[in-house]
């Protein structure tokens, strides 16, 4: 039994799912943008190294190779952490440089951001960076041009469109599973997992929903994607989500406070259960067939 009293064991489906980590620190989340200025980032107590170290340990224990969508800002300051990620057999991918939403940038700014982060990560990690995830899933109907920019910059896939309706992001009418927005030879877009009930999509791939609902709900959702849809699931979480002792922020709304801090003390145990209950792999190997 895990820490929440739930039985874990081998997954009933042989499908290998994609485990992904969005590497950013607690003070960089979009929801805190109005209360923590970018100018103060260098003065904030960083906790990402210790959290990544714990995540790497969990993955090593379960022999999981995952994809780490990493901010250039973080990689620049913690290059040895990035090298430990690569040394663990994980895929290094881009989360942009400074956690700017793609929807808040013009095409020139976006091209500079994704080019800068790709070059920086490749220099530090010593491996090609093929994947990108937009901060806050900020690619949608209004900025589909961003996918073309990613292809032009040398990326081969993106995981930046979330086919749900959400107050901060989402493109609910996008395909639920991997698709080529601009033809078979173009960039591959791989949305985070959802399930379809009636005429609506519901989140199934992590984030705040993973923390809010009991673990059994997430396990059921992911198994439904595997068994009913016959597709790999895409799961994501952040290093700060396993860190209940992170500094608490003042001046934020009750809604933001709840979303960010709910059940942080339970997340690590849930990740452990998830690691045991499903088969996991890297995005590039599952979707691009890399070795």
* pLDDT 10s digits, 66-92: 999 999 999 999 999 999 999 999 999
As a whole number, mean pLDDT of residues 37-47 equals 95
Residues contacting residue 242 through CB under 8 Å, at least 6 positions apart = 51, 54, 55, 264, 267, 268, 271
Please give the Cα distance from 17 to 13 (Å, whole number). Answer: 10
As a whole number, mean pLDDT of residues 152-168 equals 90
pLDDT at 8: 43
Among 35-39, 164-168, 181-185, whose mean pLDDT is lowest? 164-168
DSSP for residue 232: -
Across-strand partners of 179? Answer: 189
pLDDT at 11: 44
pLDDT at 167: 64
Average pLDDT, the chain: 93
- How far CA 214 is from CA of 19, 192, 219, 261, in Å, comes to 19, 19, 9, 15
On the question of pLDDT at 213 being above 80, the answer is yes
CB 226 within 8 A of CB 280: no
Which residue from 149, 198, 147 is spatially nearest to 172, judged by alpha carbons?
198
Please give the Cα distance from 90 to 93 (Å, whole number). Answer: 10
On the question of pLDDT at 46 being above 70, the answer is yes
Residues contacting residue 116 through CB under 8 Å, at least 6 positions apart = 72, 97
On the question of pLDDT at 12 being above 50, the answer is no
On the question of pLDDT at 5 being above 50, the answer is no
Q: How many residues can be counted in the chain?
A: 291
Which position has the token pair 């940038």?
Answer: 105
Residue 35: pLDDT band with limits 50, 70, 90: confident
- Three-class SS of 169-231: CCCCCCCCCCECCCCCCCCEECCCCEEEECCEEEECCECHHHHHCCHHHHHHHHHHHHHCCCC
> Considering the chain, what percentage of its residues have pLDDT values greater than 90?
87
Q: Cα 252 from chain centroid?
A: 23
As a whole number, mean pLDDT of residues 165-177 equals 84
Please give the Cα distance from 188 to 20 (Å, whole number). Answer: 16
As a whole number, mean pLDDT of residues 8-33 equals 83
* pLDDT top residue among 34 and 85: 85
Which residue from 89, 90, 157 is spatially nearest to 118, judged by alpha carbons?
157
On the question of pLDDT at 177 being above 60, the answer is yes
Please give the Cα distance from 193 to 187 (Å, whole number). Answer: 19
On the question of pLDDT at 184 being above 90, the answer is no
pLDDT at 168: 67
List pLDDT tens digits, range 109-152. 999 999 999 999 999 999 999 999 999 999 999 999 999 999 99
On the question of pLDDT at 222 being above 50, the answer is yes
CATH topology of domain 16-287: TIM Barrel (3.20.20)
Please give the Cα distance from 12 to 200 (Å, whole number). Answer: 26
DSSP for residue 33: T
């Amino acid at each position: 039994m895990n820490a929440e009293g739930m039985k874990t064991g081998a997954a009933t489906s042989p499908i290998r799912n994609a485990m992904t980590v969005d590497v950013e620190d607690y003070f960089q989340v979009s929801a805190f943008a109005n209360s923590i200025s970018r100018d103060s980032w260098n003065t904030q107590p960083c906790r990402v190294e210790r959290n990544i170290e714990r995540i790497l340990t969990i993955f090593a224990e379960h022999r999981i190779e995952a994809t780490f969508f990493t901010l250039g800002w973080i990689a620049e300051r913690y290059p040895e952490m990035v090298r430990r990620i690569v040394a663990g057999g994980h895929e290094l991918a881009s989360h942009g440089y400074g956690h700017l939403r793609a929807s808040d940038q013009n095409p020139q700014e976006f091209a500079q951001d994704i080019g800068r982060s790709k070059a920086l990560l490749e220099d530090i990690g010593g491996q090609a960076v093929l994947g990108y995830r937009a901060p806050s899933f900020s690619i949608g109907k209004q900025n589909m041009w961003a996918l073309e920019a990613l292809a032009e910059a040398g990326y081969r896939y993106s995981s930046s469109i979330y086919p749900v309706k959400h107050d901060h992001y989402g493109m609910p009418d996008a395909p639920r599973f991997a698709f080529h927005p601009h033809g078979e030879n173009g960039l591959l877009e791989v949305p985070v997992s959802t399930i379809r009930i009636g005429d609506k999509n519901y989140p199934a791939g992590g984030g705040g929903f993973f923390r809010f609902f009991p673990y059994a709900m997430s396990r059921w959702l992911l198994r439904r994607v595997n068994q009913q849809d016959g597709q790999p699931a895409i799961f994501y979480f952040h290093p700060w989500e396993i860190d209940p002792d992170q500094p608490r922020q003042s001046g934020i709304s009750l809604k933001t406070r709840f979303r960010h801090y709910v059940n942080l003390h339970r997340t690590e145990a849930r990740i452990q259960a998830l690691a045991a209950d499903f088969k996991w792999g890297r995005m590039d190997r599952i979707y691009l067939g890399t070795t």
